Each structure stands twice: as structure tokens, then as C-alpha cells.
Amino acid sequence: MAPRLDTAAPTRAVAYLRVSTERQAAEGVSLDAQRSKVELYAELYGLDLVAVEVDAGVSAKTLDRPALDRARAMLAAGEADALVVVKLDRLTRSVADLGAMIDACNREGWALLSVSEQIDTRTAAGRLVLNVLGSVSQWEREAIGERTAAALAHKAANGERVGAVPIGKALADDGVHLVPDPAEARAVALISELRADGLSIRKISAELNARGVPARGKRWHPTTVVRLLKRAA
């Protein structure tokens, strides 16, 4: 883990501001309020505010945002020691993305400061709060994974489609359940037979097209034959 910051030394901070709608960005009310709060916070706690990065009219669906990318690059390069936000939801509304930011914070050794939540990871209490949030984030990711796996297993047990339609199967009229596809099953058997006879993949696809064997696409291609052989193995 990277060494913790020395709180006795001046902390160079980059502030990150965000509004999610074009109207807010045009009016500037929310951005002005955020800027005012982070500037007062920096003055109160003796931070050296080296940059203010703004994503105007940008949602928090992902962490891939121009201004946030610039702020993270400064932190990673050691050009700033802390990231300041007015509220954590300005940074992200995603539990998983918050976990990613916490991981980066711990790995790269910079501090995360939130004005509203009074989070300051330069202190033991601030690190405790953030680690609790990180643990909740990890729990949520694992819980979602478990629920997803259980749901997929239930669907498969009930003969419902899970992912790609398996070899020899087709979707029923309801678009959910799987039913046998005799034509495809015969095609797979023929492919295996031709392969056992020593035909190349390209010759197998040509032979299937010559015989008029039904394909999921309009014609058989070598890549399709390879894919079916792998899935049938």
C-alpha cells in the first residue's frame, strides 16, 4: 500500500465538480455553488487548490468523463495529493464505481475529501469511513453476482435460454424456452463425421453449402464450423 500523506505538510488538492443536465450547466447555479463550497473548504483546512476540473452536463453512469480523467491523471502523476468533491454523488452514484475509486485512492496513496459527508482520508476516522464504504461496495458486487448466478441456474433448470442458444437447440415460440432443433443436430453430426474423414474446415463449409444443409446464417463459413465444433466438444 502507498504511504499515507503527511497531514502536517501542505496538501495539493484538485477539486472535481459535476452537474448532470445541460440546463444546470448553462445556468451555472449548481456549479457555482459547488465551486464556492470547495474553495471555502480549501481555505478552512489549508488546502492548496491547484486545479478545479468540471464536467458540465455529464451523467455519473460511468467514471469515463473528461474532467474526472484529468483529475485522476494529476493524482496518479503526483501532481496533486487529494481529490475534493462537494458530495460523493458528484463523483459517482454507482456502488461499484465508488469501490473502484476507493481502490485507486488506497493503491496510489492520494486522499479523498468530501465536503458534505466530512470524509477526509488523511485521518484515521476518514479512512475508516471510506473502508466501510469500500466493504459495502464489495459486498454489493458479490451479492449481485450470487443473485445473478442463482437466477441463471434457475432459468437453465427450467429449460430457459441462458446466453447463446446451445448446439442442437432452438428458441421456442415464446422466445424464452429451448426446444430441440433436429436439423442443427444433424448438421453437427455431419460436421463431426466430415472432420473425422480428414476434411479441412474450409472444405467442410463448402460441402455443407453444396449439400444445402440449413445454417443459422445464409451460408456456412469456416468460422461458423470452428465455433460449432468447439461448442459441441
- In tens, the pLDDT along 17-33 reads 999 876 565 555 589 89
Q: Are residues 28 and 107 in the same domain?
A: yes
> Where would I find the H helices in 158-181?
none
Angstrom CA distances, 67 to 102, 109, 162, stand at 18, 20, 39
Q: pLDDT band at residue 111, thresholds of 50, 70 and 90?
A: very high
Catalytic residues, which ones? 20
What is residue 28's predicted lDDT score, i.e. its pLDDT? 53
Cell of 161: 435460454
Angle at 120 between CA 119 and CA 123, to 5 degrees: 125
Establish if 147 belongs to a structural domain.
no
Establish if 60 belongs to a structural domain.
yes
Q: pLDDT band at residue 132, thresholds of 50, 70 and 90?
A: confident
Q: What is the mean pLDDT of residues 35-45?
A: 94
Is 41 a residue whose pLDDT tops 70? yes
Is residue 168 a contact partner of residue 185, using CB atoms and an 8 Å limit?
yes
pTM: 0.55
Cell of 177: 424456452
What's the total number of domains in the chain? 2
Burial 26-61 (b: 16+ CB within 10 A, else e): eeeebbeebbebbeebbeebebebbebbbbbebebe
What is residue 95's predicted lDDT score, i.e. its pLDDT? 76
Q: Which of 125, 141, 157 is where one domain is finished?
A: 141
CATH number, domain with residue 72: 3.40.50.1390
Q: Are residues 106 and 173 in the same domain?
A: no
The mean predicted confidence, pLDDT, of the chain is: 81
Cell of 173: 415460440
Q: pLDDT band at residue 60, thresholds of 50, 70 and 90?
A: confident
What is residue 6's predicted lDDT score, i.e. its pLDDT? 47
Angle at 218 between CA 216 and CA 222, to 5 degrees: 75
What is residue 7's predicted lDDT score, i.e. its pLDDT? 46
Report CA dihedral (167, 171, 177, 181) to the nearest 10 degrees.
-50
- Domain hosting 196: range is 169-232
Nearest to 190 by CA among 177, 203, 179: 203
Q: What does the pLDDT look like over 139-197, one tens digit per residue? A: 776 777 778 777 767 766 766 645 566 666 666 767 667 677 777 778 888 888 888 88
Total Cβ atoms within 10 A of residue 231: 12
Q: Are residues 125 and 63 in the same domain?
A: yes
Q: Are residues 178 and 129 in the same domain?
A: no
